[in-house]
Amino acid sequence: MPYSFIYDLTRIPQGVIKQLFTLAYGARLHKLLGGQAKRFVKAFKIDEATGLNLVDAIALVEDLIEVQVANSIQRDKFERAERKALLLPHCARSCMDKQCMADFKADVPNYECKGCRGSCLINKATALGKAKGYDVYVIPGGACAERILKDKEYDGVVGVACGMELKMGLGLLKKLGIPGQGIFLTKNGCSNTSLNLQNLARTL
Ligand code: SF4
């Protein structure tokens, strides 16, 4: 949980998020990041909707924009990639104790989902990724992502994580020269996190 705060994007109306991205493009991003993010947070009461303080709400909005912009810039190259990996966060498993039947593989550091629960988000996301031809990895953090991407030599990647981790991932992808698409967790935290499966399906 790299953020020091918990957010829940589902508490922000979808229309507001769409408007945020539209405004971001219209303002050519850097201006929005340079101060308009604060005005946007206040105008749409993002802090109130999410229960975050103003500083954290601004950080969240700025990260949302930055990741969205990176996605847009890398989309064409990403679509041309042939060998793609989907990296999912282990904190979205429906349970993280021994009830989860996933095995942790030390050689390729990831949890191998056994599909023990039909309602588990990781089970559903894994099925979506595999159906689209992705190799799917359920990982506990960015260090595993780096090892997997380096060892397996993928030429495209989709990662699901909180904004701060996605931003760190952007640096990694730049270093490795791999185009990627980042998907925000709709709710972050150490466990019981959430992701939007429709958004994932659209991105894959
Ligand atoms: S479906 Fe997969 S990730 Fe979810 S609890 Fe079962 S083994 Fe763990």
How would residue 26 be classed by pLDDT, with cut points 50, 70 and 90?
low
Is the Cα torsion angle 89, 44, 62, 76 positive or negative in sign? Answer: positive
Residues 137-173 pLDDT 10s = 999 988 899 999 988 889 999 999 998 899 889 999 9
How would residue 16 be classed by pLDDT, with cut points 50, 70 and 90?
confident
Give pLDDT, residue 28. 60
| Of 105, 116, 191, 193, best ligand 1 pocket probe by most atoms within 8 Å of the beta carbon | 116
Asked if pLDDT for residue 31 goes beyond 60, the answer is no
Give pLDDT, residue 53. 92
Cα distances from 112 to residues 71, 87, 136, in angstroms, run: 27, 12, 9
Ligand 1 neighbours by CB, cut-off 6 Å: 93-95, 100-102, 113-117, 120, 122-123
pTM > 0.95? no
Rounded distance from Cα 187 to ligand 1 centre (Å)? 18
Average pLDDT over residues 179-193: 92
Residues 44-81 pLDDT 10s = 888 888 889 999 998 888 888 888 888 988 999 999 99
Q: Which atom belonging to ligand 1 lies closest to the Cα atom of 118? A: 1
Rounded distance from Cα 168 to ligand 1 centre (Å)? 26
Rounded distance from Cα 112 to ligand 1 centre (Å)? 8
Q: Using a pLDDT cut of 90, give the percent of the chain over it.
A: 53
Asked if pLDDT for residue 25 goes beyond 80, the answer is no
Closest by Cα among 160, 143, 141, 140 to 85:
160
Q: Where are the chain's structural domains?
A: 9-203
Asked if pLDDT for residue 41 goes beyond 70, the answer is yes
User: Measuring from atom 5 of ligand 1, which residue has the nearest CA?
Assistant: 100
The helix or strand, by DSSP H or E, that contains position 87, with its residue range, turns out to be strand 84-89
Average pLDDT over residues 126-137: 97
